[in-house]
Amino acid sequence: MKGERKTRLGSLKKGDQALITQVGNAESSIELVERLLEIGILEGSRVEVVHEAPFGKDPIAVRVRGSLVALRRHEANAIEVEIL
């Protein structure tokens, strides 16, 4: 059951809530990881996909640490989450 709940932020749908388990993976650049962390996307924070952009549902807007942050799904895929 627990294994099924593990996924990436980029594959979540509007309304999904999750817990960030890891920022950055083998493919992601250090720069991306640094910038994600600086804007407040951190391990242990709760994240919710609040909006999807109209064309192709990309980028997405997520609520994290009290702010609303827009990012593309490609970048969001560097963030491992556990669906709540």
Partner 1 sequence: MGNEGIENNFQMRNPQPQVALAGNPNCGKTALFNAITGGRAKVGNYPGVTVERKEGHVLTASGLNLSVLDLPGTYSLDARTPDELITRNILLGIQTNEKNPDVLVAVADATNLERSLGLVFELCLIGKPIVLVLNMMDLAKKRGLELDLEILSQQLGVPVIPTVAVRKNGISELLYQVERLLASESAKRTLLEWKKPTTQEIRQRFAEIDRILALCTRQMPRPTVWTDRMDRVVLHSFFGPILLGLIFAAIFQVIFIWATQPMEWIKSAMNQFGRWVGLWMGPGPLQSLITDGMIAGMGSVLVFLPQILFLFTFILLLEDSGYMSRAAFLMDRLMGKVGLNGRAFIPLLSSFACAIPGVMATRTIENRRDRLITILVAPLMTCSARLPVYSLLIAAFIPNKILWRGIRLQGVVMFLLYVFGVISALLVARVLKGTVLKGKKPLLLMELPTYKWPSPKNIFIGLIERSKLFVRRAGTVILSVSIVLWFLSSYPKPPQSQIPRSESAISYSYAGRIGKAMEPWVKPIGFNWKIAVALIPGFAAREVMVGSLATVYAVEGKSEEPSPEALPKTLSAQLSRDWSLATALSLLVWYVLACQCLSTLAVTRRETGSWKWPAFMLTYMTGLAYLGSFLTYHFAVSLGLG
CA dihedral 68, 73, 78, 84 (to 10 degrees): 60
Tokens of 41: 């996307």
* Cβ distance to partner 1 smaller for residue 37 or 83: 37
Q: In the complex with partner 1, which residue's Cβ is closer, 18 or 36?
A: 36
Nearest approach in angstroms of CB 75 to partner 1 is: 6
Which run of H or E residues covers position 38?
Answer: helix 30-38
Strand, helix or coil for residue 45: coil
Question: Which residues of the chain form contacts with partner 1 (CB under 8 A)?
Answer: 24, 30-40, 42-43, 50-59, 61, 63, 65-72, 75
Least gap, CB of 67 to partner 1 (angstroms): 5
* Residue 4 tokens, joined: 């099924």
Residue closer to partner 1, measured from CB, 18 or 23: 23
